[in-house]
Structure 1
């Protein structure tokens, strides 16, 4: 059992080893001399600063490795050189002996000899939180058994407390970093890693993702054997294959890497932009190609989620980049939760325009949105704009997937091959049931305002009669007032009729099962009627205004 005090000492030693003693002394006065007394070697200051950060995180263990991996999504905050180092963080560790995990396996599966036809005691893979064993159930199903490392939850709990203390002291002693909200980032990380420790959530994520990717041909997610799974153990279908980033092996096996790239990118675009539920850790170890050439997703602890309105805004943002529409890009960033102050908006648009100009004059085969998207975090960093975690997670995934796609198919061009696909998602989103429901709600609100208008007028008249409002009226004014009230009543009536038609059409569209049906077509006919009546009314009002 690692105590908090002992762990503080381990962390201090490692930070000093990699040349961060001055910062540590500022946050925890008196720590550095004690740690230097215990050390026999000079700090590793001959290495690059960002490389030292990565090496320190790796040596600090699973919690800090996972934290570095999560922070690598914050491209709008960190220098590109540090991001590159964080992206290569690895949490591969020496596997535990089988005796150490056997108890956890039998807790969920019962005696191994009774449940499994065979069980490989040497793990096929090992990571910081778990290790994976290959086995076969009595019914002949070959499975992967993912078992959590005993005691890892306690270690992470201690580390999270220390990490939160470090974040608080960073904000206190280095005020220039407070804008990046270190304590908020640690809170987000704490929630995320606690979810990764619960393998039930992992399995449920796999089930949900399977429903989504089934819409794309030749894409698979392993099936979960829930009868043997629980919070610290996950038994799933075993699928063998080749890592997606092992391009040479894929080509030797005769696979069409161009098709694999297109399939993978379209699958991710559908996950992110259509469903807002996406596999958020697309490195080579979590994506592979099986012997049939199908793309297989693995490891579902890290999942990104985008709310519907954020999803729609991200679609609009991507289309804004494709169309070089500065107003749409700026509005989309604001809809995504990026607080662009009015005082800097013109400068922000200027820099965005400059960024877009780098790609002007390119034909569609040369233009690459992936390279352009990689510049977005740099632009946001320049203005110290903080971005919601979910958005940066989505951007990171898009950039990583496009990078892998380019390795598989050097001639791949996002705008040409995926741009129309995004445009179709945007069209479907515009005519979705959710959009129609919002339209119906907004229409009801407008009608309520119309209905309340006579009451508002009546209250005004009552105030006039009791002397609260004094009006001087001459003879000609009475006539004009009568005419105005008459016209207002007619206009109000026409407005109510139009509103009723729009509400009825919206409800029919909302309740229709699919586009092209009788209710769907009738709803659009209603919209056209409302539009015609509206234009005719405006024309008559304009003609008769005198």
Structure 2
């Protein structure tokens, strides 16, 4: 079969380009892996480690190989640096040393602004530093001053970085599939799913328009909160490759000496930072996914500023509600409800023995009870709990792993400032707040209306189903075969069940009615609450007690 020149379609061309990228990066990958003694992974024959490298441990060689392979591999290693539940501690310690090993790229910033933003830089900027004051794998950051005297920073994406990441991801996916197909270990740590979550995260980081949208959403969430400083952004001077935002003059939140020199209390700053993060997670459902000390600054006013919004975690309303329930059951040490919630939240739940899982969780709670607040380390706590999930092949959504990493980082910052800080105790006020909100008239009304909608939908379909049964009965087409053992016991059980259902529906109706009466605020009242509403709540309590007593009764 002969193919003429020019007959390739756009899809073929893209495929060929991807293959060329993979081939180019694969050559580099083989060379670097062989250099550090990992050539056998790719059946590479020249696998001799020479010189000083031969005296290094395997974990040191892994870290150095990742650094030389470039930004994608460095970030992937950094993503695993908090997964003590999956990797040995020696490797974790090496992964935490990972740094972006990149050279400063010489760029003509005015020319780049002119071509990318279609503006004359001299009309907007009084001055732009030619040298970056910060340089990382994805971008370089420059100081600048606007015409009005406002100091800003320009975050400029490195040329060609998107193509490098894309080719790296193609190779990493192939390697992941190979490892999973040959090794149970990699299957159990869900390597393919972890890589998919990582790809999603790094693609978001590569888009500065996405970061700009994150900053705006974050600012809306914290509008009016005086504990946090929200940096200004300049959309007219930004696009997908350039981000212009306000320059912040502050110190790292972990710099205790600098905080004291500014006259600030490190303990108060630690508590404020922890509270701001818990608000992001439990109230906003939109949280910073990488809150390491370099991304949290403290200003002279004592306000805390979060920076670098490329990687954010986001929860839907349903996910946020499930997380609230999960944390509540965790704090209450309610293993059964915790397992039920894990089933709802998990992407994969392959538990073969739920009784064993429940015993593991109770054992975990016993460990918590036996440790003092000073001894309790949230990183260790979350690591052990993640270990239970992995041993039982429970795969959680990627946003939960981002959240775990964020909480570990925040607690690490807090403990650097206040050694006896305990995040678990800090959670208790939020759990109480969630509990009170769920019992509020507005929330009860919402829950009751949801239940009524469910019952209404069921009642709508019931007549049609009954009509179908009657039609078949009249036509003599309905046949029933049954064999029931212990019929009297079954009748009693069904009668009790029906009675409880009727009482439960009446209780829900009384709760909804009472909530509506409270919102209507009609007299007569007792202690500021409508008497009829109080009467409704009282009847609901009586009905609830009746259901509870009935369920506990053997007869």
TM range (shorter): 0.7 to 0.9
SS of aligned partner of 1:219: coil
TM-score computed with the length of structure 1 as normaliser: 0.80
SS of aligned partner of 2:302: coil
- Residue in structure 2 matched with residue 273 of structure 1 by the alignment: 282
**Distance between the aligned counterparts of 1:79 and 1:435, measured in 2?**
47
Which of 436, 441, 447 does residue 456 from structure 2 map onto? Answer: 447
Are 2:194 and 1:185 aligned?
yes
- Residue in structure 2 matched with residue 23 of structure 1 by the alignment: 41
Whether contact under 8 Å (2:351, 2:393) holds in the other structure is: no
Q: CA deviation at 1:98?
A: 3.6
- Residue in structure 2 matched with residue 476 of structure 1 by the alignment: none
Which of 88, 91, 100 does residue 97 from structure 2 map onto? Answer: 88
**Distance between the aligned counterparts of 1:500 and 1:535, measured in 2?**
12
Whether contact under 8 Å (2:517, 2:533) holds in the other structure is: no
**Distance between the aligned counterparts of 2:171 and 2:532, measured in 1?**
59
Q: CA deviation at 1:64?
A: 1.2
**Distance between the aligned counterparts of 1:231 and 1:453, measured in 2?**
54
SS of aligned partner of 1:301: coil
SS of aligned partner of 1:528: helix
Q: How does 1:128-143 map to 2 (within 5 A)?
A: 128-143=137-152
Matched positions, count = 508
Q: Deviations over 1:113-139 (max 9, x none)?
A: 222112111211111111111111011
Q: CA deviation at 1:308?
A: 2.6
Q: CA deviation at 1:229?
A: 0.7
Q: CA deviation at 1:275?
A: 1.9
**Distance between the aligned counterparts of 1:378 and 1:43, measured in 2?**
36
Which of 201, 226, 231 does residue 217 from structure 1 map onto? Answer: 226
SS of aligned partner of 2:218: helix
**Distance between the aligned counterparts of 1:511 and 1:129, measured in 2?**
56
- Residue in structure 2 matched with residue 105 of structure 1 by the alignment: 113
Whether contact under 8 Å (1:351, 1:379) holds in the other structure is: yes
SS of aligned partner of 1:147: strand
Q: Deviations over 1:286-336 (max 9, x none)?
A: 111112221110100010112333323333333333323222332332232
Q: How does 1:17-416 map to 2 (within 5 A)?
A: 17-25=35-43, 32-33=44-45, 41=50, 44-72=53-81, 76-91=85-100, 93-99=102-108, 101-106=109-114, 107-108=116-117, 110-174=119-183, 176-214=185-223, 216-337=225-346, 339-341=348-350, 343-360=352-369, 371-416=380-425
Whether contact under 8 Å (2:351, 2:394) holds in the other structure is: no
**Distance between the aligned counterparts of 1:343 and 1:127, measured in 2?**
45
Whether contact under 8 Å (1:120, 1:133) holds in the other structure is: yes
**Distance between the aligned counterparts of 2:443 and 2:77, measured in 1?**
37
Whether contact under 8 Å (2:350, 2:392) holds in the other structure is: no
Q: CA deviation at 1:14?
A: 1.2
- Say which is worse superposed, 343-352 or 268-277, in terms of deviation: 343-352
- Structure 1's 92 and 259: CA in aligned 2 closer, same or farther, altered over 3 A? farther
**Distance between the aligned counterparts of 1:17 and 1:528, measured in 2?**
74
**Distance between the aligned counterparts of 2:409 and 2:501, measured in 1?**
56
Q: Which runs of 5+ in 1 are unaligned?
A: 26-31, 472-489, 513-519, 542-546
- Residue in structure 1 matched with residue 426 of structure 2 by the alignment: 417
**Distance between the aligned counterparts of 2:532 and 2:142, measured in 1?**
57
Whether contact under 8 Å (1:16, 1:43) holds in the other structure is: no
Whether contact under 8 Å (2:333, 2:365) holds in the other structure is: yes
Q: CA deviation at 1:362?
A: 5.5
SS of aligned partner of 2:245: strand
- Structure 1's 373 and 165: CA in aligned 2 closer, same or farther, altered over 3 A? closer
- Structure 1's 230 and 505: CA in aligned 2 closer, same or farther, altered over 3 A? farther
Whether contact under 8 Å (1:132, 1:145) holds in the other structure is: yes
Whether contact under 8 Å (1:77, 1:386) holds in the other structure is: no
Q: Deviations over 1:172-214 (max 9, x none)?
A: 3435423444333333322222221110110110111122234
- Say which is worse superposed, 296-305 or 268-277, in terms of deviation: 268-277
**Distance between the aligned counterparts of 2:236 and 2:243, measured in 1?**
10
SS of aligned partner of 1:282: coil
Compute the RMSD of aligned alpha carbons: 4.0
- Structure 1's 252 and 182: CA in aligned 2 closer, same or farther, altered over 3 A? same
**Distance between the aligned counterparts of 1:233 and 1:8, measured in 2?**
30
Whether contact under 8 Å (1:19, 1:43) holds in the other structure is: no
Whether contact under 8 Å (1:440, 1:506) holds in the other structure is: no
Q: CA deviation at 1:76?
A: 4.4
- Residue in structure 1 matched with residue 9 of structure 2 by the alignment: none
Q: CA deviation at 1:83?
A: 3.4
- Residue in structure 2 matched with residue 11 of structure 1 by the alignment: 29
Q: CA deviation at 1:361?
A: 5.1
Q: Deviations over 1:341-396 (max 9, x none)?
A: 55322222222222222232556677665652342223333334332211111111
SS of aligned partner of 1:418: helix
**Distance between the aligned counterparts of 1:80 and 1:463, measured in 2?**
68
- Say which is worse superposed, 258-267 or 357-366, in terms of deviation: 357-366
- Residue in structure 2 matched with residue 480 of structure 1 by the alignment: none
Whether contact under 8 Å (2:259, 2:266) holds in the other structure is: yes
Q: Deviations over 1:448-490 (max 9, x none)?
A: 434665665566555555555699xxxxxxxxxxxxxxxxxx9
**Distance between the aligned counterparts of 1:462 and 1:275, measured in 2?**
53
**Distance between the aligned counterparts of 2:100 and 2:349, measured in 1?**
37
